[in-house]
Amino acid sequence: MSTETQVTQSKGDGSAVAESRRAGASESVLRPPVDIYETAEGITLQADMPGVAKDRLNVRVEGNNLLVEGSIGVAPQEQMTALYADVRSTVYRRRFALSNELQTDQIDARLKDGVLTVTIPKRAELRPRRIEIKS
Residue 60 confidence (pLDDT): 93
Whether residue 55 is contained in a domain is answered as yes
Residue 58 confidence (pLDDT): 93
Distances in whole angstroms, Cα of residue 103 to Cα of each of 60, 84, 107? 13, 45, 7
Give residues with Cβ within 8 angstroms of 34, minimum separation 6. Answer: 45, 46, 47, 48, 94
CATH number at residue 57: 2.60.40.790
Whether residue 18 is contained in a domain is answered as no
Whether residue 122 is contained in a domain is answered as no
Whether residue 93 is contained in a domain is answered as yes
Residue 96 confidence (pLDDT): 93
- Residue-number span of the structural domain to which 59 is assigned: 36-74+85-117
* Most confident stretch, 80-84, 107-111, 126-130: 107-111
Whether residue 43 is contained in a domain is answered as yes
The number of folded domains in the chain is 1
Whether residue 11 is contained in a domain is answered as no
Mean pLDDT of the chain: 77
